[in-house]
Chains A and B, each alone.
Chain A
Amino acid sequence: MKARVTVTLKAGILDPQGKAIEGALRALGVEGVTSVRQGKVFDIELEGLDRAKAEVVLRQAADKLLANTVIENYRVDVLG
């Protein structure tokens, strides 16, 4: 079973890296970009779990390690 955990910065948390990327996109002439926020994607493979259990396990993984919930939100997608 494949799954993806996406970690993003909470609203209101300054993201200097995202700002730098945003500036670089403007400098490259990429049009229409008004904001960039950088996040992380974890592609995870699991075995021996049903879908519901996989979601529980991945939420634990995100809470315990993958995300720092002081500054980050996360989303779990079990891709099947």
Chain B
Amino acid sequence: MKAAVLVFPGINRERDMARALTLISGREPAMIWHAQRELPSGTDLVVIPGGFSYGDYLRCGAIAARSPVMDAVRRHAARGGLVLGVCNGFQILCEAGLLPGVLMRNGNLRFICRDVFLRVERSDTPFTRGYNAGQVIRVPIAHGEGNYVADDATIARLEEEGRVIFRYVSPAGETDPAWNHNGAVNAIAGIINERGNVLGMMPHPENHVEEALGCTDGRGLFAGLVDYLAKAA
């Protein structure tokens, strides 16, 4: 799997992401500075990691979404290339118009840093084939603006088309306002685009890939991508 991790000023999870990708795919990703206008040729997967690009100025992800490298990401996505955005990466994908909706300030106004439980709604995407549909995984969140919002028509469409991929749930896998930590509409934690090749999610699967850290529930996402690309090749 040939992965490229985008690096913007103020991003701080790019090394975690590179470590997870290297560990699971056996190949180090290319680190791509935001001012670059091209991705390395043959890139299979673009990853936009978490952090605080441009200090979250204006709106989270707003400035990064308009940087030169994002035109290359748009072309990559238009070719059917895979794009994964985590946390600030999800915010950037929404601001860039590659995913619908927006991530607003958490409902309780607090920065939330904790493990959460996610229900994987579908296993038939390149990003989730490492899981079973309905499986509950534990991964961390660390964000102040993860409260997913879109207009009613967009939410209805996402639900009808099965494009909500991860939802915040209780440990037993039930949706419950008490476990929807940031107040997201329909407890949405991650969505996919219409074509199924661009996924954005607030939680950090890259931080739960090693036994030493107490949980490996995030591995399935990366292992699934490796498997998908091996079969596609």
Min Cβ gap B104→A in Å is: 7
Chain B contact-residue range equals: 20 to 34
Main secondary structure, interface of B, reads loop
Contact A17 B105 (CB under 8 A): yes
Min Cβ gap B3→A in Å is: 29
Contact A13 B149 (CB under 8 A): yes
- CB neighbours of B101 from chain A (8 A): 70
Min Cβ gap B99→A in Å is: 11
Total inter-chain residue pairs, C-beta < 8 Å: 36
Contact of A68 among B102, B105, B107, B183 (CB under 8 A): B102
Min Cβ gap B209→A in Å is: 32
Verify if B19 is at the interface (C-beta below 8 Å from A).
no
Chain A contact-residue range equals: 10 to 19
Verify if A46 is at the interface (C-beta below 8 Å from B).
no
Verify if A25 is at the interface (C-beta below 8 Å from B).
no
Known: A16-B106, A16-B109. A64 touches B95 (CB 8 A): no
Q: Give the A-binding residues of B (Cβ under 8 A).
A: 58-59, 62, 66, 94-95, 100-102, 104-109, 147, 149-151, 183
The 8 lowest CB-CB distance pairs between A and B, nearest first, are A16-B105, A70-B102, A16-B109, A71-B102, A20-B109, A68-B102, A16-B107, A68-B59
